[in-house]
Copies of this chain bind each other. A is one copy, B any other.
């Protein structure tokens, strides 16, 4: 880390990110003290690791790497119906983690600390011979009776998703130059989605106590809905034609219909997929309008097991992979 010692990295760059967390003791101690839980709330904890070359491209802007690392963890909190309290971060610096890289990384992180009111509360910095890796543990808070799980979807519940599906994997393809015929505007929109996902925190919090199961789509729609099915001991059918696509994704599918299975199984969407009891559909639509996040009904839970996807002709679609390998 030429030009910037670990001490300077903490004192100069990271300490300001801990300002709004009194229990972080300005990152000076061995550990941090969580604030008292809000009355009737419980703490939710999640931990995700991201490595350059696996979840992030070495060419990605360092600030976006930081934001993605935090946001995929916040997305896990959203899927549980929790709002963020703060986070802990371990950095494994690689050979290319020089001062320029680290300053840009922290600048991006600082933006998200403000946006999500999620202060840095502690962590660790090591150097190793491998690629740059960031591990984040995010702490959230949720009303105790309203924590969203995966295991209570029932036969007859409807399946919904937020936002649009498939932009994450298309963004990776665009960043890798694999969508040359797509307009620059559409390419930029998709790449942004891949690099800086939007955790659905407000929607997730509103779904607490309403949705019967919820997950964030990180591995891919089919795979992640499969996780709900497995936990809830139900099956699910998805109507592919009703899966919401962005205009950029629609443009890609229009020119190459074969890419649709990739969108349904690609990951990195960080939208919420959730189950809703019969009769509660209007409540979901009201919440969607209240928080300004579009939601779409795309399927139905049923007896049996596993996920079946039918195309616009009512024909079962086959997938070579149901999940997304980063």
Q: Contact residues of A with B, CB < 8 Å?
A: 23, 25, 28-34, 36-37, 42-51, 53-55, 76-77, 79-80, 82, 88-92, 94, 121-124, 126-131, 133, 135, 137-140, 147, 149-151, 215-216, 231, 326
Contact = CB atoms under 8 A, between A and B. Distances in A.
A169 to B, nearest CB: 18
B129 A47 contact: no
Contacts of A326: 126
Number of copies of this protein chain within its complex: 2
Nearest to A23: B42
A242 B88 CA distance: 38
Which residue of A31, A49, A54, A326 has the most chain B CB atoms within 10 A of its CB atom?
A31
Contact of A45 (B44, B88, B127, B151): B88
A151 B26 CA distance: 12
A10 to B, nearest CB: 12
Nearest to A218: B30
Contact of A124 (B34, B48, B131): B48
Contact of A53 (B25, B32, B128): B128
Contacts of A29: 80, 149-150, 231
A206 to B, nearest CB: 17
A31 B129 contact: no
A126 B216 CA distance: 18
Contact of A31 (B50, B54, B82): B82
A6 to B, nearest CB: 11
Nearest to A48: B124
A33 B82 CA distance: 10
A192 B77 CA distance: 40
B135 A90 contact: yes
Nearest to A75: B30
Contacts of A53: 128-129
Contacts of A32: 44-46
B34 A44 contact: yes
B149 A25 contact: yes
Nearest to A76: B30
